[in-house]
Amino acid sequence: MNNKTYKSILIFIFLLSVFLLSIIKINDTDAWLHLSMGKIIWEKRGMPDNEPYLFTVQDEPFVYSSWFLVLYTILFTNCSIKIE
C-alpha cells in the first residue's frame, strides 16, 4: 500500500470515530478523561511527566492508575479472549 492509501484509511477511521461518538451516548464519565489522556499522549509522543489535570499535585510525577483496566479492556474485550 502506498502513502495515499494509508491516509485514506486513517481519514476513514477518524470520520467513523467522530460519527460513532456523535450518535452513541457515553455513560462512562471516565471516557472523557481517557480521551483527553490519549490526546496528551499523542501530542507528547509519550506519557506526561507531571500530573496534567489535578492542580493540587501539579509538581508530582504522573501516575496512570487505570493502566490495568485499560490492559483488561484491550485484551479481554477487544481481542475476544474469554476467561472461564
Domain ranges of the chain: 26-78
What is the sign of the dihedral through the CA atoms of 43, 46, 33 and 57?
A: negative
Distance CA 39, CA 25 (A): 20
Q: How confident is the model at residue 12 (pLDDT cuts 50, 70, 90)?
A: very high
Residue 81 confidence (pLDDT) above 60: no
Tell me, what DSSP letter sits at residue 62? P
The stretch 5-34 carries a mean pLDDT of 82
- Whether pTM exceeds 0.85: no
CA distances from 20 to 11, 28, 73, 80, 82 (A): 14, 15, 19, 21, 26
Mean pLDDT of the chain: 77
Q: Which of 61, 59, 33, 35 is nearest to 48 (CA)?
A: 61
